[in-house]
Amino acid sequence: MMTTLSDETMLLDDTARLRAAAAFVREHDSASLLPLLLPGIGGPDLRALAGHCHFAHAGMLVFPPDEESLRARLADCGLTVDTPSHPSVVVRGRLARRHRRDPGELDVRILRPQVLGADGERRAVEVFALTVPPHSGLERIAAHERAHGHEAHLAFEIDHPDPLVLRGLCAILARYGARPDGGGYNPHEDGTVLYFTTPAAAACAYRRLELYAHGDHRDALAAHLDHPEPNTRPSAGTTATGTTATDPATTGARPPAETLLHLLTGAWSTQALASFARLSLPDAMDTRTARRTEDLARLTGTHPRALATLLSYLAMLGAVTREDLPEEGFRLTELGALLRADAPATMRPLALMYGGPFYRSFGELDHSVRTGQAAFDHLFGENHFDHFARDPELADLFDRSMAAGSRMFGPLPDHPALTAAAQAPASATVVDVAGGNGELLRRILTAHPNLRGVLLERPHAVAAARRLLDAAGCGARCDYRAGDFADVPAGGDVYVLARILHDWDDDRCREILGHCARAMPDHADLLIVERLLPTDGSPSLATAWDLHMLCNVGGRERRAEHYARLLADVGLHLHGHSPLPLDGHVLHVRKTPAPAPRKP
């Protein structure tokens, strides 16, 4: 039977908890609080913790029916009402795993109304707000979370985070009995969160501790997540941190034989998802309502029992979820919806490509490892660019699969080089070299109406890009050049080279970069989008793509210093690099200044 509470009871309960959290924050500071959370800590360890981080906030999860009600509760507690809110990535994911729900159903926001401590230091009450409208079916989640307080915690913000400091602080916490309890990176705030469970002997009602570090600290996060979360029981096929069982950072929790078995069956997951897309099953399903297997089989022309087997496996992968109807049925999840043909930034072309030509070439991976040559060339008798060019449908699929990874480009239009160009008095020009179907250039020109664009690509890709940019209303500000890398247009203000260099060996990269350097005026910027291999061997998508590039195109991923050497060889300088989604990076490159003439 579902547990329900009246809206008034829910609000009053949340109000009392908000008041208690605000009072706690006002009364405590780092020096007094850490010994309560970590019994026995003192001396150098206490000084190290208190010296590198400060008590920042008390966190709690509340359940308003809507945002207006939440703001009213904040006002009742004397907390700032106009505090901005941001989506919560970490807590939403934890709730989804704990209650086996689709994350897309859980609208969780973060607000941090400020509180002034007794010592005059500014702190906050971190409010996670899960919207629970009346009769939404989420009341049971609210009742459970209030009873157990999984998300209640105390947070310490690291003042000057760097990898060594972060790992050192984690080691101190572990010495005094704190256990890793999940975490994540929130791109909306550019912040990394590490959660810990405090020891049973802690003299504090709050049982969870958070370390917060501004920025993207993937290496420390991967090491931290190499432990199962105590509050989360993993379902088959996933770890407690919500990553797939093939994630090297999380396989340590299983016995070796079970871990190996899960790794060996990774190919089954690829083909199950590819078949899901090829059979157009996501398009016949819905994220809101479950459908019977028999109905789905009739709509897609599939065998009911065989389809049920596939859907059960896909439920284990998180692409669908099984629900009890009068008869059993399946509902599409937010993850599975990415494979719908009509989904914004659909990933269906990637599933077809990875489950098609690239899947076949990976069967010849041993050839690449023995010879250092692309297995794709060995299998198909030509490199993948020539092979796709001979088949218009395959070429179109490849271009669409590249566009499907465009989530990596999300923050790129806000890069300082582009914003500076957009604010220049004269109209500036962005040159997208080998820009595919124009998806990245569309994002840039849409974000900056004052910019003009030039796209250089093969003839069939130019035609596709023209259609996309015209449909987006950017076509009038864009010119198109059909050609090769030797045809890079001169005179641009910002040049973009996105996911190109990893296709090639070092000699070809120097050639491509040389063409760009010769075309660039002295004031121009070059933005290179690639995945960077980690320097410490930590888990990264770049490591996986390094193998993919070896097998399928004969290229490679590289470290930042490797790119710096290639750039220096052609008179370019790596000015810096910053992270992008999907483990991507943007490298900011400028021409190497000419040496000043010597005075006689």
Residues marked active site are found at 502
Report the SS3 class of residue 113: coil
φ, ψ at 585 (rounded to 5°): -140, 150
CA 495 – CA 477 distance, rounded (Å) = 16
Interacting residues of 313 by C-beta distance below 8 A, sequence separation 6+? 268, 272
DSSP state of 462: H
Select from 444, 438, 443 the least CA-distant residue to 462: 438
Q: How many residues does the chain have?
A: 600
Burial class of residue 522 (count of CB atoms within 10 Å of its CB; 0-12, 13-18, 19+) = exposed
Interacting residues of 154 by C-beta distance below 8 A, sequence separation 6+? 33, 37, 55, 57, 58, 59, 204, 206, 208, 209, 210
Burial class of residue 142 (count of CB atoms within 10 Å of its CB; 0-12, 13-18, 19+) = buried
Q: Which two tokens stand for residue 76?
A: 């009742």
Beta strands 525-531 and 584-591, pairing class? antiparallel
CA–CA–CA angle 128, 134, 139 (5° rounding): 60
In whole angstroms, how far apart are CA 512 and each of 310, 438, 486, 502, 505?
Answer: 45, 19, 8, 12, 11
Own/partner long-range contacts of 312-320 (Cβ < 8 Å, ≥24 apart): 313/268, 313/272, 314/272, 314/273, 314/276, 316/235, 316/236, 316/237, 316/238, 317/237, 317/244, 317/269, 317/272, 317/273, 318/237, 318/238, 319/273, 319/276, 320/285
Select from 324, 13, 8, 20 the least CA-distant residue to 143: 13
Helix axes 256-264, 266-278, angle to 10 degrees: 30
Report the SS3 class of residue 568: helix
